[in-house]
């Protein structure tokens, strides 16, 4: 298989950035296919930290990086991120960055609406990042979005603005806000258009060309399967499909292009924001794991909730997304634990479940059933060979494989790119 699709198999924040960067050094193209600048990927290369939200992780290594049509694009966020990376010495041109010309845009009015809704929701908040991603996807589906290609035709944008403002003006009135300032919006779009159009192109055509030439393509997912709008813990989910199948529709390549599906899985479980979390630890152990794992969101800075590894959820994610193998990250955070626990099932009103029910009320009531295993006192940090791992860490990994019914392909032992144990090569297997 020449291509690899990387997805998060939990609630996001699994360490996809490092794994994608590691794989990108062996790929010819890296493609983002869904989400927006609510994704957070941290890369540490030769001691330098790069924080990405919208740009594909391959951009740091100079690999051709593509933002596909399945992404909703905040053009101002893109410009800020490009400038920040250029300040760190990364050259970004139309040779190594391509943006789909049919990408929907995230506009200032989307950010405003996102904030108004969350404020008004009270206890019904779903914990969005407030960046306008959800409202932008709504406008895409409602066929009133302004897209990247429209930036080259701003003088004929009035009919689209009519449709867009008819919808948003009514929403704003409901919140007691003034209507959209169309003149100001057009001026903002005219100002940003030259920057974005430098990178705009029909990326499906470019991807078709490089694929025919035998290029290795790496598809980079954002968030995680448990945040998928269909298959996640609804309504506490993101606004797009995060499963591997979206790589095809979100890039313009067919379903046969996705190749090896690598699910990124943290050696424990974390979640940002609201929603059910069966294995959450609100004790000293959870505090310790959170501190050792530096569990703060890359984009939001919010403290992540922390819990034991949930094999039920990961098995479910692997099945739904057709995961071929997993990359296990942050195993070093468990170093020094006397014991480690794995959730193997749930108890709900006297019945045992081997999956997470769909209804939010049932999800909130699920009690985890744990299997305890001995921990290890030795360090796994920086290990680059399976033989370098402590015996109990190996047993822990093997037990995870059995419970999730999916093999471990990679083990990450630190944020550094090269601190990675390769057990199965996704580009070959």
Tell me the two tokens of residue 352. Answer: 């045992």
- Tell me which residues are annotated as active site: 13, 41
Instruction: Find, among 140, 62, 149, the residue nearest to 101 by Cα.
Output: 149
- pLDDT at residue 113 in the model: 93
- pLDDT at residue 126 in the model: 65
Tell me the two tokens of residue 150. Answer: 């429209």
Q: Could you read off the pLDDT of 358-385 as tens digits, one per residue?
A: 999 999 999 999 999 999 999 999 999 9
Sign for the CA dihedral angle at 401, 405, 410, 414 comes to negative
Range of lowest pLDDT (181-185, 294-298, 374-378): 294-298
Return the half-sphere exposure (C-beta side, CA atoms, 13 A cut-off) of residue 242: 29
- pLDDT at residue 209 in the model: 95
> What is the percent of the chain where pLDDT is above 70?
96
- Cβ atoms of residues 342 and 395 within 8 Å: no
pTM over 0.95, yes/no:
no
Tell me the two tokens of residue 278. Answer: 């069966």
Q: How confident is the model at residue 429 (pLDDT cuts 50, 70, 90)?
A: low
Range of lowest pLDDT (32-41, 120-129, 258-267): 120-129
CA separation for the pair 427, 429 (Å, rounded): 6
CA separation for the pair 270, 183 (Å, rounded): 43
- pLDDT at residue 289 in the model: 93
- pLDDT at residue 299 in the model: 58
CA separation for the pair 269, 247 (Å, rounded): 25
- Mean pLDDT value of segment 62-73: 95
């Amino acid at each position: 298989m020449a291509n690899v699709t990387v997805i998060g198999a939990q609630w996001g924040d699994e360490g996809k950035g490092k794994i994608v960067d590691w794989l990108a050094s062996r790929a010819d193209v890296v493609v983002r296919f869904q989400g927006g600048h609510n994704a957070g990927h941290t890369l540490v290369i030769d001691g330098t930290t790069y924080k990405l939200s919208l740009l594909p992780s391959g951009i740091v290594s100079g690999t051709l990086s593509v933002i596909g049509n399945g992404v909703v694009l905040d053009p101002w966020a893109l410009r800020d991120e490009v400038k920040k990376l250029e300040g760190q010495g990364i050259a970004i041109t139309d040779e190594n960055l391509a943006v789909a010309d049919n990408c929907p845009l995230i506009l200032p009015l989307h950010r405003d609406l996102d904030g108004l809704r969350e404020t008004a929701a009270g206890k019904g908040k779903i914990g969005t990042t407030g960046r306008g991603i959800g409202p932008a996807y709504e406008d895409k589906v409602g066929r009133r979005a302004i897209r990247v290609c429209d930036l080259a035709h701003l003088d004929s944008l009035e009919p689209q603005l009519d449709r867009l403002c008819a919808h948003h003006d009514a929403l704003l009135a409901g919140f007691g806000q003034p209507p959209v300032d169309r003149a100001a919006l057009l001026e903002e779009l005219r100002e940003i258009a030259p920057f974005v159009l430098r990178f705009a192109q029909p990326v499906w055509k470019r991807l078709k060309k490089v694929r025919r030439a035998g290029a290795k393509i790496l598809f980079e997912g954002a968030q995680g399967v448990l945040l998928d709008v269909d298959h996640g813990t609804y309504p506490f989910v993101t606004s797009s499909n995060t499963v591997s199948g979206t790589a095809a529709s979100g890039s313009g390549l067919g379903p046969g292009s996705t190749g090896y599906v690598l699910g990124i899985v943290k050696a424990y479980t974390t979640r940002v924001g609201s929603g059910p979390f069966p294995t959450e630890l609100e004790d000293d152990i959870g505090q310790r794991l959170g501190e050792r794992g530096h569990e703060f969101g890359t984009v939001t800075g919010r403290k992540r909730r922390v819990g034991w590894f949930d094999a039920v959820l990961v098995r479910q994610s692997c099945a739904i997304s057709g995961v071929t193998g997993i990359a296990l990250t942050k195993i070093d955070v468990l170093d020094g634990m006397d014991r480690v626990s794995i959730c193997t099932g749930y108890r709900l009103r006297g019945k045992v479940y081997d999956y997470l029910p769909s209804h939010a009320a049932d999800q909130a009531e699920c009690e985890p059933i744990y299997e305890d295993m001995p921990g290890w006192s030795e360090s796994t940090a920086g290990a680059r060979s399976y033989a370098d791992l402590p015996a109990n860490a190996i047993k822990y990994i093997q037990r995870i494989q059995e419970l999730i019914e999916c093999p471990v392909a990679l083990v990450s032992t630190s944020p550094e790119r090269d601190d990675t144990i390769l057990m199965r090569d996704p580009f070959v297997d």
